Structure 1
Amino acid sequence: MPTAPSVPTSPSGDRSLPLRERKKLRTRRALADAALTLFTAKGFDATTVDELADSVEVSKSTFFRTFPSKEAAAIEAETEVWTVWLAALEARGLSGPVFPALCDTLAEAATALPPDWDERYVATRRLVMTAAALLSQVELQRNDVKRRARATLAAKLGLDPEDLRLHVLSELTMTAWSVSAREWVRSGADGGRETLLARLHDAFTAIPASLDLAAG
């Protein structure tokens, strides 16, 4: 079974990358960390791009070469999940039922994230709940992820990307993640990654069981 692409434990951890690319990754991570720290301490609206750039000692133009907006910098931990998942989905060969493959690939992607991701993700989700702009950014991002997942599946299965089944599959996958991560974040990531993965497994298992649920 193919596994999700590995994620370096530090931005410069992948020595197979050229030095210039490693420097870009270090800058990206430094800006994302600064954004999370400053937004949490001062508030999203009260923190300027100039302050973010100054805290990492880069120019404002460097910031905008790295991130398109303050919002994007704030949700980098969220972005990491879906970047790894989409890459893993693209690399995976499909055979048999598709939904279990989506479930497995998302679990593999979550497993591949670096150890410090847990703390950053919890802080990110808590920050998101304090600013409407960040909620909107997450929604836009997730919609784009679902679109890209549908396009990948359509190419692999020879289907139209707008096939209703692909819409349902992408929505179910995203919903399983949302309900799994929500309680994990509320608990402060109690139990670590293992607990998140267990919740994700339970959510995926509950989907077909929910469809069979009947009254009296």
Structure 2
Amino acid sequence: MAETALSLFTERGYDATTLDDLCDAVEVSKRTFFRNYRSKEDVALAADSDLWSAYLDYVATLKMDGPLLEALRQALETTLSAMDPDWDRRFLATRELSETAPALQTHSLGYCQDTTRSLVKAVNGSAGADTDEVRLPLTVEIFVAAWRTASLHWTAQGGHGGRDGLMKLVEETFAKIPAALTSSA
């Protein structure tokens, strides 16, 4: 269903594609649609959801030790490597679509906020009792900002290099964090 939705949204435009159009194209009722997705925005952003669901599941299995930002980056690299072979194409199309649809931008930001909260909870649960209530969320926010910066850059490049290109940009962006934190105005 998500693949068909992405195709329809790309061909016709997000706003021009109705839920009825989507349900007709995949031959399901609205009831069936809502068993799988909460909204039209959720199906449009399925590639994002696939990544972050897999990432949060993976992080929940880890025992966090060492520098947290690096552990989060390595977990992202592992998760990206494990995504299905077609994920990069779907993610790129989702990001490009999101740039043209304000409703998707708004939904994406809300989803990002929810995922960030979930990540803080997951890390807090695996890091032990020593976590700082300011440093932990700040580190997670820096992680999210670095990911977002790299993925937006990759999208602006038209997905150059596929997943390997995205992973390289993630690594380069994370490497620039120390200099970014001390840059002058």
TM-score (norm 1): 0.80
Segments of 5+ residues of structure 2 without an aligned counterpart are none
User: What residue identity is the alignment partner of 2:157?
Assistant: S
User: 2:57 corresponds to which residue?
Assistant: 87
| The one of 153, 156, 164 aligned to 1:186 | 156
Segments of 5+ residues of structure 1 without an aligned counterpart are 1-30
User: What residue identity is the alignment partner of 1:198?
Assistant: K
| The one of 73, 76, 100 aligned to 2:46 | 76
In 2, Cα distance between equivalents of 1:151 and 1:34: 34
Q: Is the 8 A contact 1:150 1:161 kept in 2?
A: no
In 1, Cα distance between equivalents of 2:129 and 2:22: 44
Query: Which of the two has greater helix per residue?
Result: 2
Q: Is the 8 A contact 2:150 2:173 kept in 1?
A: yes
What is the deviation of 1:93? 1.4
Runs of 4 or more off by more than 4 Å in structure 1?
159-162, 212-215
Q: Is the 8 A contact 1:146 1:170 kept in 2?
A: yes
Change (3 A) 1:162 1:135: farther
Change (3 A) 1:56 1:208: same
User: 2:100 corresponds to which residue?
Assistant: 130
User: 2:127 corresponds to which residue?
Assistant: 157
Mapping 1:192-207, distance limit 5 Å: 192-207=162-177
Mapping 1:49-64, distance limit 5 Å: 49-64=19-34
Between 94-103 and 136-145, report the one with greater CA deviation: 94-103
User: What residue identity is the alignment partner of 1:96?
Assistant: G
Instruction: Report the aligned-residue RMSD.
Output: 1.9
TM-score (norm 2): 0.93
- Between the two proteins, the alignment pairs up a number of residues equal to 185
